[in-house]
Structure 1
Amino acid sequence: MPTLADLAELVRAPAALSVPGDVLAGAAAAGTLGPRTPALAGASVLLYWAGMAANDWADRGLDAVERPERPIPGGRIAPATAFGVAAGLTAAGVALAAAAGGRRAAAVAVPLAASVWGYDLAAKNTAAGPAVMAACRGLDVLLGASGGRLVRAVPAAVTVAAHTWTVTALSRREVTGADQLLPARTLAGTAVVAASAVATRRPTRADVLPAALTAWYAARYGGAQARVYADPSAGRVRAAVGAGITGLPALQGALTARAGAGWLGIAVAAAAPLARRLARKVSPT
């Protein structure tokens, strides 16, 4: 029987700290923050964990060669168990979203779950992989906004999706390393993401907090990508991917604060240093 530590490694448990901020940013943008929001965030976490388990189940043959230390090739979790965990978490995530947000939330959660499985089973190793994963995160933001006007959360969804594209593009070179063109492209993408996170028609004092959180995000993740540009080895690429995952709450916090929920934005961003600390014990990638 797998231990809790094995299951935590399978689903990349600490990386889930990067997930609730999607829903909170979406809810803040749509003006739907309320009692249902924590449950929708919980549903998002369940779907994220499901995707991680499904990823390892789908990659078990490749991992036996490239990452034999992972739970399935290491013999700590059986493939059937991993598949069962992924399927069970998916069902639980969709059910929780529907229970909390009704049909409108289910209308987002179902395509989100389908996109997660579509990435793991079909798109991941194709040219469409980064775009599909970006769509997953964009839908995650819209899940938080499902109780209101989705269109108001579209800019936040696109910003998070663009960030996700950069992380996913880098993750495809975690084992082999990259050339300098890849980090140059993703770093440019990060600059666009940061600019979009603070874009406003008329700057005010209220924009100071989003700008500060965005600068924190850009320094952390952008710095890691700059190091990949200087040395595009596999180890540096993995570090940049980890920085992109654990640094996402700072970006989500900026988006939440930009929507007018300043204290909540600070709370969301506070998950970033905690995620980095936990990532030293369980890899987020």
Structure 2
Amino acid sequence: MENDRGPTLGAFAELVRAPNLFTAPPDVILGAALVTITGADPVPSTVAGLATASVCLYAGGTTLNDAFDAPIDARERPERPIPSGRVSRRGAFGFGFALLFAAVGIAFAVAGGPAAVAAGLVAVAIVVYDGLLKGTAAGFLAMGTTRGLNVVLGTTAAGGVILESPIQLLAVPAVITGYIAAVTAMAARETEGSNRGAVAVATAGAIAAVLAVGWFLASVDPATLETIVAIMFAAAFCWWVERPLRATYADPVPGTIGPAVGACVLGLVLLDATFAAAVGVRWGLAAGVFFVPAVGLARIFDVT
């Protein structure tokens, strides 16, 4: 039953997974960094606008996730905003879809049609995952696709769609897609436990992402400083996800799977920063700085 006082700011912060919101802009920053390989020079204000759109997309996605999952959460996670009555299910659906539409509008306002199309594709992938494919193999890929397309959204900061793109502009979003798909496969078993296979899939996704970093460094041949900063971010990513994944594989129960999923989600910021730093240190730092508020808020709000 909904709280008579109505939803609070804290309830909405839980609904949108406040820490996770800071993992969305680094995707866009990475996309903008990648497009500089073609000689483009994205305008910072445009990148910031697209980052804002990506935050709205993420917030809308998590809100709709809980709205669709309300009956399941009533049994498995009764403390969440909707089953606890702090936010109505109807209100969550309205808020979630409003955020998706706002994201497309913001993208169009700051970067035109190509950006709106990219944001629209992210929104469609979100709804398909939340409402139709969640828990299936296709659903894991759909969730990963939302992140890969979020990187693509960042490439539109250059003012249009680049048709003759180097392979890095396609391969890096694919790596992000694969990594998040693998993490989503583990997250789907969060409340079950006793599934080392899902943990192994997420671990393989992380290892594959790190190997892809090696390929990327060899491919773009960055300067010494860029190489050092990229390797430092890659090492931070490995350190951040290795311990929770190892602990979860040793004892795959809900109490270890949840933190591992959360660590891998927040670790995406470091992975984005790794690829971005290989293109330019300023891009890497611009992406990596979001890790600080994400981790800080994760001490207050749940990530998963």
TM range (shorter): over 0.9
Aligned to 2:3: none
Superimposed CA distance per residue, residues 71-121 of structure 1 (whole angstroms, 9 cap, x where no aligned partner): 000011111110111011011001001111111111211111101011000
Aligned to 1:235: 255
Shift of 1:155: 2.2
Select 2:28's aligned residue among 23, 46, 50: 23
Select 2:206's aligned residue among 184, 190, 194: 190
CA distance in 1, matches of 2:297, 2:98: 25
Select 1:177's aligned residue among 188, 193, 199: 193
Which range moved further: 272-281 or 76-85?
272-281
Aligned to 1:268: 287
User: Post-superposition, which runs of at least 4 consecutive aligned residues in structure 1 deviate over 4 A?
Assistant: none
CA distance in 2, matches of 1:103, 1:273: 33
Shift of 1:183: 1.7
Aligned to 1:49: 59
Unaligned runs of 5+ in 1: none
Shift of 1:3: 0.8
Shift of 1:264: 3.0
Shift of 1:204: 4.8
SS at match of 2:22: helix
Letter in 2 for 1:29: L
Which range moved further: 23-32 or 173-182?
173-182
Q: Would you say the 8 A contact 1:198–1:211 is kept in 2?
A: no
Which range moved further: 187-196 or 45-54?
187-196
CA distance in 2, matches of 1:161, 1:221: 17
Q: Would you say the 8 A contact 2:33–2:283 is kept in 1?
A: no
CA distance in 2, matches of 1:112, 1:174: 25
Superimposed CA distance per residue, residues 179-209 of structure 1 (whole angstroms, 9 cap, x where no aligned partner): 2222222212211101112323357513111
Unaligned runs of 5+ in 2: 1-5
Aligned to 1:160: 176
Query: Number of aligned pairs?
Result: 284
Q: Would you say the 8 A contact 1:25–1:156 is kept in 2?
A: no
TM-score (normalised: structure 2): 0.89
Select 1:73's aligned residue among 68, 83, 91: 83
1:223 aligns with 2:250: no
Select 2:114's aligned residue among 100, 104, 123: 104
CA distance in 2, matches of 1:273, 1:242: 14
Q: Say what the alpha-carbon RMSD is for the aligned residues.
A: 1.5
CA distance in 2, matches of 1:154, 1:198: 16
Letter in 2 for 1:267: A
**Identical amino acids, percent of aligned pairs:** 36
